[in-house]
Amino acid sequence: MLESIEVPVQQLVVPLICDGLVNLGIQSFKIVKIYGRITGKDLPDWQQEIELEALVNLAVLTPQTNIESDFAVPLLAQCPKIAHLDGIITPAEAKVIDSINKKLNCDLALIK
């Protein structure tokens, strides 16, 4: 639970927490729920559930290096095709693809 005099900015704090969780290498639990609220309130203003396995997979697939967009975007466009080779894209595969898409800040629908 994150508390502040103003609502913690979900888009800023969640990635920081995710990076920290990956760096800790925690393997004893699979899901983390993060909540943000104003100090003194009973209920959270927002919540987000994170799958640690998907975070670790994303960290392996997208290391903390700058990827040239000339290479990253075409590679991202191939990810759904590769994931679909067995006939389906599993929810886990879809989450990894979506996470990479968000990290690269691309509109996957435009590059298919």
Q: What's the CA gap between 37 and 45, in Å, rounded?
A: 5
Strand partners of residue 37? 3
**pTM value?**
0.51
CA distances from 20 to 46, 51, 58, 80, 82 (A): 20, 14, 14, 28, 29
Q: Look up the domain containing 43 and give its range.
A: 1-52
The pLDDT tens digits for 78-104 are 677 777 777 777 777 777 777 777 766
Which band of pLDDT confidence, cut at 50, 70 and 90, is reported for residue 32?
confident
Helix (H, G, I), strand (E, B) or coil at 34: strand
Domain count, the chain: 2
Among 10, 33, 52, residue at a domain's last position:
52
Are 39 and 70 in a shared domain? no
39 with 83, same domain? no
SS3 (DSSP) at 56: helix
- Within-domain flag for 57: no
Regarding whether 74 and 48 lie in a shared domain, the answer is: no
Examine the domain organization and report whether 66 and 40 are in the same domain: no
How far apart CA 2 and CA 46 sit, in angstroms, is 10
For residues 47 and 10, state if they share a domain: yes
In this predicted structure, the answer to whether residue 38 has a pLDDT above a threshold of 90 is yes
- In terms of Cα–Cα distance, which of 48, 59, 51, 49 is closest to 22? 59
- Same domain, yes or no: 34 and 73: no
Clarify whether residues 4 and 47 are in a common domain. yes
